[in-house]
Structure 1
Amino acid sequence: MKGDAVWGKILGALFGLALLKLPGLLLGILIGHWFDRAFRLQFEQNGGFSALFRDNTDEQGLFRYTTFATMGHIAKATGVVTSSHIQQATVFMDQLGLDSSQQREAQAAFRDGKAVNFPLRQQLQQFYHTYRRRKDVLQLFLEIQLSIANVNGNMTTAQYGLLQQVAGYLNFSAAQLDMLLQAYQAQSRFSSRSNQRHSTGQASLADAYQLLGVSQDVSDTALKKAYRKLMAQHHPDKLMAQGVPAEMLDVAKKRTQDIQAAYELLRQKRSGKA
């Protein structure tokens, strides 16, 4: 692909030469180089040429199975799978709108994950190999796993240690996992308080900042940049194009709704309208 990303330089050179002669030629080549580089990075992030020929059906099946099997394994890390864990997994399945056949498959994967000899490392290595060029998909997967580990707001040391392993297999650092965990917990609080705003007042500003992953003294420009980055990472159409099953997109949609609500609250507060 690197050798093919030259059209920006060619077109830039031609337009530059036509408009400004030799200086335009040099400027056009430089601008074209920037364009080619940005295009190549985006192309590779989306899976490169293999993305044009991959079997999305197999990928989506891998995403579903790995999601629910890993959820079962994380739930089992408490030593015993409680009714809360099963209820959380069931609620998650209901939220996804799975049909009866898909629910049976999800339940079977959850049971597989609970097994003592479940090959978590091998399963996640296969998952990572498939999605390794699609970082936003890997992040969505990890965010989903945080939900089962935070049932009723409780996470055991064993579950946290297992989440660190999962994150490591997907090439996320411990610091990145902690940031995602803090953002998830802030989102849960923010969403809960937003739904009760009529009786409890404004949702927490601190949670809104943490949900967006910024400090409270961040500039307006940096705040908007963080907001746009998160919205792009969780855009349902983008994630579907990268191989996320359609039913899993509700997770991304809910995330974008909370991100947008948090940003609007902070924007209005900063402008004095709230």
Structure 2
Amino acid sequence: MWGKILGALFGLALLRLPGLFIGLILGHWFDVKMGANLARFRGLFNESEEQQGLFMYTTFATMGHIAKATGVVTPAHIRQARHFMQQLGLNEAQQQEAQAAFRDGKASNFPLVAQLQAFHQHFGRQKDVTHYFVEIQLGIANVDGEMSHEQYQLLQQVALQLSVSRLQLEQMLAAYRAQQRFNRHDSKRPSANAMQDAYKVLGVSDNCTEKELKRAYRKLMAQHHPDKLMAKGVPAAMLDVAKRRTQEIQAAYELLKNRH
């Protein structure tokens, strides 16, 4: 019903009474289309609740929209999307549906705001889930360590619709980039740069106390704990990615804890 409500409000604001009816028609089309997409995802991922399909569809459609932000989807973005699908362990049918959602998102008229508002309606009170969703989008927006101005603007729009502040977005982006660098360091012979990146992964300064370090570590582990995310509605297919994230956080903490 969110498509009809939003369409009616936008139409009324732009064209008054005629716009109201036009908005209702367009909103109904959006509701029907989204409902069909969510139904496909529920069946393919063996999830019984609508929010599971909503999470999966919104994830890949938003990825597609961000990838197309500059007008052209690069091979690097396609590789990143495929890599993410492989990380999820999707079977062939599931990958086809994920690719279909990605293509939907690439359309210039894709209703990103309405889709995100529908997502926020279901998950908005679950801050860990909305932050996790934004973190997923960082991977497609920051392919090969590069992000265009248009992609950054879209990322800000995603964060805004999900009540993630600009400061929180900047912190997540800094942590994501540090994590990518940290993963490339030699874990057996950690350098000073590896330690600096480890601090950024945990979101603390290099002169933090042992207590502050431990508090940051525990907070991040709690936010990304697979069981906790699953209980809040994140699809089971996404949990392996969350598990890898906790392993990365653990590795950064293990490097630093003996230095305090």
The interval holding the TM-score normalised by the smaller chain is 0.7 to 0.9
Q: Which runs of 5 or more residues in structure 1 are unaligned?
A: 1-54
Q: Distance in 1 between matches of 2:146 and 2:100?
A: 25
The aligned counterpart of 1:256 is 246
Is 1:239 equivalent to 2:229 in the alignment?
Answer: yes
Cα deviation, residue 198, structure 1: 4.9
Structure 1, residues 39-79: CA drift from partner, whole Å, max 9, x if none?
A: xxxxxxxxxxxxxxxx8531110000000000000000122
Q: Distance in 2 between matches of 1:208 and 1:224?
A: 13
Q: Distance in 2 between matches of 1:120 and 1:231?
A: 30
Q: Distance in 2 between matches of 1:109 and 1:139?
A: 21
CA 1:200–1:132: 2 relative to 1, 3 Å: closer
Q: What RMSD over aligned residues (CA atoms) do the two structures have, in Å?
A: 1.5
Q: Distance in 2 between matches of 1:259 and 1:142?
A: 17
Is 1:71 equivalent to 2:87 in the alignment?
Answer: no
The aligned counterpart of 1:266 is 256
Is 1:93 equivalent to 2:93 in the alignment?
Answer: no
Is 1:152 equivalent to 2:144 in the alignment?
Answer: yes
Contact 1:96 1:248 survives alignment (8 Å): yes
Is 1:105 equivalent to 2:97 in the alignment?
Answer: yes
1:236 partner amino acid: P
Q: 2:110 aligns with which of 97, 106, 118?
A: 118
Structure number with bigger Rg: 1
Contact 1:137 1:244 survives alignment (8 Å): yes
The aligned counterpart of 1:14 is none
Moved over 4 A (4+): 198-203
Q: Distance in 1 between matches of 2:192 and 2:51?
A: 42
TM-score, scaled relative to structure 1: 0.75
Cα deviation, residue 268, structure 1: 1.6
Structure 1, residues 218-270: CA drift from partner, whole Å, max 9, x if none?
A: 11101101100000000000101111111111221111101111111001223
% same residue:
62
Is 1:189 equivalent to 2:181 in the alignment?
Answer: yes
Q: Distance in 1 between matches of 2:190 and 2:222?
A: 31
- Equivalent pairs, count: 214
CA 1:171–1:218: 2 relative to 1, 3 Å: same
